């Protein structure tokens, strides 16, 4: 059985769309008798410009989504040399007829992430421009204007995400414990 959470950036309790904190009551969603869950997700932004700027060497081909569940993850990050809180990546979807772009990925785009069942009712989702991450600057994803030399805005467009939690069957917690 899968357990889904529908997250809308407009429902954040603090932060901006590119660095948002949400309150989630895990006891209302996830069963307590499993220790581990596979997490997959789909993601879609509202349309924005996200216009490449060759003059200033700024590009927007994809983004990295970080989700801090404040729990143990079973993946490793060679940059931080610790557990990875990267949830996955999304591609820019170019719409040439409207000159507006979105970022999206389906639930099969990224491999599942295994986490320990969260107990903290707060999660933080941070979204970075992947070109900046690869170059070492970890710049948050922001939208741009349509100008020939686009001006960076202070936030990205609104977004929705569906997270799917699938219990890891071998992690059933015995009721005798």
The CATH number for 120's domain is: 2.60.120
Q: What is the pLDDT of residues 86-139, one digit of tens each?
A: 999 999 997 776 778 999 999 999 999 999 999 999 999 999 999 888 888 889
Nearest in space to 1 (alpha carbons), one of 34, 48, 27, 28: 34
Q: What is the pLDDT of residue 3?
A: 97
Q: What is the pLDDT of residue 97?
A: 66
Task: Look at residue 144 and tell me if it is in a domain.
Answer: yes
Q: What is the pLDDT of residue 149?
A: 86
* Tokens (6 digits) for 81: 């040399």
Number of domains in the chain: 1
* Tokens (6 digits) for 87: 């949830």
pLDDT greater than 70 at residue 175: no
In whole angstroms, what is the distance from residue 117 CA to residue 37 CA?
Answer: 6
Task: Look at residue 77 and tell me if it is in a domain.
Answer: yes
Q: What is the pLDDT of residue 77?
A: 74
Q: What whole-number percentage of the chain has pLDDT above 70?
A: 97
The neighbouring-strand residues paired with 44 are 104, 160
Task: Look at residue 122 and tell me if it is in a domain.
Answer: yes
Task: Look at residue 14 and tell me if it is in a domain.
Answer: yes
Task: Look at residue 175 and tell me if it is in a domain.
Answer: no
Task: Look at residue 176 and tell me if it is in a domain.
Answer: no
Question: Three-state SS for 25?
Answer: coil
* Tokens (6 digits) for 27: 């006891």
pLDDT greater than 90 at residue 62: yes
pLDDT greater than 90 at residue 10: yes
Could you tell me how far CA 91 lies from the centroid of its own chain?
Answer: 12
pLDDT greater than 90 at residue 76: no
Phi, psi of 142, deg, nearest 5:
-135, 155
pLDDT tier, 66 (very low <50, low <70, confident <90, very high otherwise): very high
Q: What is the pLDDT of residue 147?
A: 85
Question: Which DSSP string corresponds to 91-118?
Answer: EEEEETTTTEEEEEE-TTSS--EEEEPP
This prediction has a pTM of 0.91
Task: Look at residue 51 and tell me if it is in a domain.
Answer: yes
Task: Look at residue 129 and tell me if it is in a domain.
Answer: yes
In whole angstroms, what is the distance from residue 122 CA to residue 68 CA?
Answer: 9
Find where tokens 């970022």 sit: 103
Residues with Cβ within 8 Å of residue 150, at least 6 apart in sequence = 49, 51, 53, 58, 144
Range of 99's domain? 3-169
CB 101 within 8 A of CB 50: yes
Q: Which of 7-16, 27-36, 88-97, 150-159 has the lowest mean pLDDT?
A: 88-97
Q: Among the residues of the chain, which ranges form H helices? A: 26-29, 130-135
Compute the average pLDDT of residues 35-62.
92
């Amino acid at each position: 059985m899968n357990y889904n959470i529908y997250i809308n950036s407009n429902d954040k309790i603090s932060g901006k769309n590119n660095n948002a904190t949400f309150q989630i009551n895990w006891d209302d969603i996830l069963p307590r008798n499993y220790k581990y869950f596979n997490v997959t997700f789909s993601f879609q932004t509202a349309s924005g410009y996200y216009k490449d700027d060759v003059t200033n060497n700024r590009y927007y081909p994809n983004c990295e989504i970080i989700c801090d569940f404040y729990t143990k993850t079973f993946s490793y990050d060679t940059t931080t040399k610790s557990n990875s809180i990267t949830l996955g990546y999304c591609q820019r979807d170019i719409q040439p007829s409207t000159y507006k772009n979105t970022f999206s990925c389906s639930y099969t785009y990224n491999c599942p992430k295994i986490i320990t069942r969260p107990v903290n009712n707060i999660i933080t989702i941070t979204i970075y421009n992947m070109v900046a991450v690869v170059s070492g600057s970890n710049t948050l994803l922001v939208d741009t204007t349509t100008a020939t030399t686009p001006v960076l805005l202070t936030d990205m467009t609104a977004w929705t995400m569906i997270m799917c939690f699938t219990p890891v069957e071998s992690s059933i917690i015995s009721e005798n414990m």
